[in-house]
Amino acid sequence: MAQEGSDVDFELTEDQQLIRTAVAELSAKFDDQYWMEKDENHEFPTEFYDAFAQGGWLGITTPEEHGGQGFGITEASLLLEEVSASGAGMNGASSMHLTIFGMHPVIVHGSEEMKKENLPRVVNGELHVCFGVTEPGAGLDTTKITTFAKRDGSDYVVNGRKVWISKAQESEKILLLTRTAKFEDSPKKTDGLTLFFTDLDRDRVDIRPIRKMGRNAVTSNELFIDDLRIPEEHRVGEEGQGFKYILDGLNPERMLVASEALGLGRAALRRAVRYGNEREVFGRPIGMNQGLQFPLADSLARLDAAELVLRKATWLYDHGRPCAREANTAKYLCADAGFEAADRALQTHGGMGYSEEYHVARYFREARLLRIAPLSQEMVLNFLGEHVLGLPRSY
C-alpha cells in the first residue's frame, strides 16, 4: 500500500466507495425508458436534476462554506461516471456537469459577494448556469473570439455571438468569455479576454436551439448578444485575465468528461453482454461467437486501462501535482474506449441496435460527442505532441 502523499494510490477511500454506491442507487431511479423519453421529447430532466440537488450532490466540489461538500475532482469524477454508467449517459451528465465544476472560476476568482449570492443557489439546484466560450468564427482557437465587452461608466456593454452553448434555454445566468481588448491590440494573444458571471437577459440575448444528433434532453444553443449591459460587479476577477481563469479549469474538465465517456462505455457494454447472452441465432447465444465476444472483451480491457489513467489524473490533481499529461490522455483514451464500446454494443444488437428500443443507439450518438467536445481528440494529440513529446507546434 502506497504511503499517503507519496505514490499514486488507486484504492478508493470509504467515502469514495459510499459516493459510488449512493449515486448508483439514486441514478437507478431514472431508468433507460426515462432517458429515452427525455431525449425524444427534447425535455430537460428536471426530476432527475432536482433529486440530485436534494441529495446535495450538485455541490460535491463546492466549498463547505458556500453550501457544498468540498470534495475533490476524484469524487466528482466518480459521481459523473456513475450517473453516465446508469444509462443516463450524456443527457444526465450534461444536465449537471456545469453545476458540478463550471463554477470553478467563480469559486477561485469571484468576489465574496458573487460567491455568497450565487453558490448556495447553484448547489440547491435553483440556479441553472451555462458556459459561453465557443464562437462560430473562432472555433477551437479561443483567443480569436470577438464578442466584445465595451466599458460604459461602471458597466460593460456586450455585443457578439456564441454557438453551442449548452443549457442556455434553462439557464438564468451565464459564465461569459468576452474580449475587452481586440486581439490585434493585445501584446499577448491570451491578453484582453474578460470573464463575466451575469444574467442571461432574454431581452438582450436571443437564444436559438441547434438541432443536433443526440443528447437532446439538454439543449445546445446559438446566442445572439445585442447590447447586453453587465455591471462591473459581475466581472469575474480582473479585466483582461479571463483566459487564464478558464485555463485553470481545463484539466479538471477533461477528467470529468473522461469519466462521463467511461460510464457510457460501461453502460453500453452491460447492454451488449445482456443481449449477447439472451439472443439466440443458429441455435446458440450470439455471445458465444468470438466475432462478437472478442470485441466486447477488448472494450472491457480498453475501458479498464483508460480508467487507470483517469484515476491517476484525478489523484494528481487532488494532490496539487501537475496533471496535464494525464488529464489529456485520460480524456483521449476514455472518449475512444467509450465510443468503441458503444459502437460494438450496437453491432451486437444487430438490427435491433438501430432501433431506439434497446437504448444502444442513444448511447452511440452520445458517446460520439465526447470525441469532439469540449475538446477534440486532435487537440489532445496536439497538446501531447507539443508539450509532452517536445515536437514543434503544428498550427
Which residues of the shown chain bind ligand FAD in the complex (CB under 6 A)?
130-134, 139-140, 164-166, 212, 215, 220, 369, 372-376, 378-379, 382, 395
Query: 135 vs 326, which CB is nearer to ligand FAD?
Result: 135
Amino acid at 393: R
Closest distance of CB 321 from ligand FAD, Å: 26
What is residue 357's DSSP assignment?
A: T
Residue whose grid cell is 502506497? 2
CB nearer to ligand FAD: give 165 or 323: 165
Instruction: Provide, rounded to whole angstroms, the least separation between the CB of residue 183 and ligand FAD.
Output: 16
- Minimum CB–partner distance for residue 159 and ligand FAD (Å): 17
**Nearer to ligand FAD by C-beta: 199 or 298?**
199
How many CB atoms lie under 10 A from the CB of residue 64?
10
- CA 21 to each of CA 14, 17, 26, 27: distance values in angstroms, whole numbers, following the listed order: 11, 6, 9, 10
What DSSP state is assigned to residue 241?
A: B
Q: Among all residues, whose Cβ is closest to ligand FAD?
A: 139
The helix (H) or strand (E) run that includes residue 49 is helix 46-54
- CB of residue 297 vs ligand FAD: minimum separation in angstroms? 30
Residue (173 or 312) nearer to ligand FAD, CB: 173
Nearer Cβ to ligand FAD (240/385): 385
Torsion of CA 57, 17, 218, 237, to 10 degrees: 60
Q: Are 256 and 248 in contact (CB under 8 A)?
A: no
Nearer to ligand FAD, 311 or 365 (CB): 365
Instruction: In angstroms, give the least distance from the CB of 83 to ligand FAD.
Output: 17
Q: Smallest gap, in angstroms, from Cβ of residue 372 to ligand FAD?
A: 6
User: 383, 323 in Cβ contact below 8 A?
Assistant: no
CA distances from 365 to 36, 39, 320, 339 (A): 12, 11, 35, 9
